[in-house]
């Protein structure tokens, strides 16, 4: 398969071929993929297939630059999410999963690659037609949906069908600077038994166990170091690709706090002019919450509003932040210091799953006890590079 280009447009000699002759894991039904498109599609498909298989519910992910911006299981849409995407709160399972995934970080999900665990139906196809997205991968498409999706972006929207029965080879290879690296595929299944080693706190509520399993699926397909915050079957914040784990924890925590503040009445009632598009509204909500607009941004923000915005003071922010609770936290590697727990606790974390085995795991456990957090050791590292 010839690709549009490689990682960058100047890398024109790009192609894809199956490892085993004739054994393709996917089919391109519309559009022409690039190298990164296929990386996002294949990673996203593996994540949603594994999450749906482990938890028995439809799953979706919104991928950008080889890491998920968000991932979620099917579930009810809250008022803020339904309003932003102009979606019925009782939307179908697959649509709800994707909307919840995209809403985790809607700024980053701009131009995403969507992945869903079940065949695309008419409702989801209609939604994809109205958001800025580069493509979708699914194990099938209901009648009429491929034709509808092919009309998006003047035919450039990527429609990719995954083979749900495809089994990857037991070994993986990668070439880098003339060197071929080979390793066994990481195919250890994710299951509830990984959460049996409760170090402190507990027992785990069923909902917390589901959130932790979803979190483990997410970090497994996120560039390491990675952590994620999960609540009610949806990610609130994902930290990816940081050299320091605590930086991941703080980055993902900031995203979780932003997700929660987007539900504050002062943000929900921002009165935008009808001409302001959905993504512009998202971006302005984020900048309003962050509170450090430049002079030029303040002027443009004012022109985007039909009525002046009420302020959001520090005391209001702190009071609202205290309302975020029942959050689960998953890490792809051992927490090396207690600072990760201290930062996670600021964002309502009550359950943590991490491999354990650090020389300071005792300090981490002590921090969890201080904050009333249940700590689980999975004994399973899930690095991805």
Catalytic residues, by residue number, are 64-65, 225, 385
What letter does residue 104 receive in the DSSP assignment? Answer: T
Distance CA 211, CA 242 (A): 23
Beta strand residue intervals within the chain, DSSP E: 26-30, 59-64, 67-73, 112-116, 133-138, 158-162, 171-176, 179-184, 198-200, 226-231, 234-240, 327-331, 349-354, 374-377
Closest to 103 (Cα-Cα) out of 85, 86, 125: 85
Q: How far is CA 346 from the centre of its chain?
A: 21
Give the strand pairing for 67-73 and 59-64.
Answer: antiparallel
Can you name the residues that pair with 345 across neighbouring β-strands?
Answer: none
**Would you put residue 177 in left (φ > 0), alpha (ψ -120 to 50) or beta?**
left
Spatial CB neighbours of 122, under 8 Å, sequence gap ≥ 6: 142, 144, 145, 148
Q: How many CA atoms lie within 13 A of 305 on its CB side?
A: 18
Contact 316, 202 (CB under 8 A): no
Helix (H) or strand (E) holding 301: helix 295-304
Cα-based torsion angle of the residue sequence 50, 66, 341, 257 in order, rounded to the nearest 10 degrees: -100
DSSP string, 270-291: --B-TTS-HHHHHHHHHHHHH-
Helix (H) or strand (E) holding 298: helix 295-304
Distance CA 357, CA 336 (A): 9
């Amino acid at each position: 398969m010839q690709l549009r280009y490689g990682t960058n447009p100047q890398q024109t000699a790009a192609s894809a071929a199956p490892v085993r002759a004739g054994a393709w894991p996917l089919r391109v039904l519309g559009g022409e993929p690039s190298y990164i498109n296929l990386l996002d599609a294949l990673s996203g498909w593996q994540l949603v297939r594994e999450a749906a298989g482990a938890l028995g519910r439809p799953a979706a992910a919104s991928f950008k630059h080889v890491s998920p911006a968000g991932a979620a299981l099917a579930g009810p849409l809250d008022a803020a999410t339904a309003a932003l995407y102009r979606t019925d709160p009782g939307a179908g399972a697959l649509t709800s999963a994707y909307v919840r995934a995209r809403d985790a970080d809607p700024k980053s999900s701009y131009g995403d690659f969507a992945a869903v665990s079940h065949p695309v139906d008419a409702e989801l196809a209609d939604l994809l037609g109205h958001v800025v997205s580069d493509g979708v991968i699914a194990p099938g498409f209901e009648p009429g949906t491929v034709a509808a999706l092919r009309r998006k972006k003047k035919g450039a929207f990527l429609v990719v069908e995954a083979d749900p029965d495809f089994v990857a080879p037991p070994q993986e290879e990668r070439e880098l600077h003339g060197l071929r690296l080979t390793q066994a595929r990481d195919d250890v299944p994710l299951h509830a038994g990984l959460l049996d080693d409760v170090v402190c706190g507990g027992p785990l509520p069923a909902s917390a166990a589901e959130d932790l399993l979803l979190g483990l699926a997410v970090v497994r397909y996120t560039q390491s170091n990675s952590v994620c915050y999960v609540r009610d079957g949806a990610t609130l914040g994902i930290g990816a690709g940081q050299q320091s784990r605590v930086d991941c924890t703080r980055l993902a925590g900031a995203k979780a706090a932003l997700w929660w503040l987007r539900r504050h009445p002062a943000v929900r009632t921002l009165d935008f002019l009808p001409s302001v598009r959905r993504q512009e509204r998202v971006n302005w909500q984020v900048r309003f919450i962050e509170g450090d607009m430049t002079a030029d941004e303040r002027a443009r923000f004012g022109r985007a509003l039909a009525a002046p915005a009420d302020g959001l003071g520090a005391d209001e922010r702190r009071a609202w932040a205290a309302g975020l609770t029942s959050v689960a936290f998953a890490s792809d590697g051992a927490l090396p210091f207690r600072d990760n727990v201290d930062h996670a606790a600021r964002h309502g974390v009550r359950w943590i799953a991490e491999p354990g085995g650090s020389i300071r795991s005792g300090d981490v456990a002590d921090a969890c006890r201080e904050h009333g957090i249940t700590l689980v050791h999975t004994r399973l590292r899930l690095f991805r590079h």
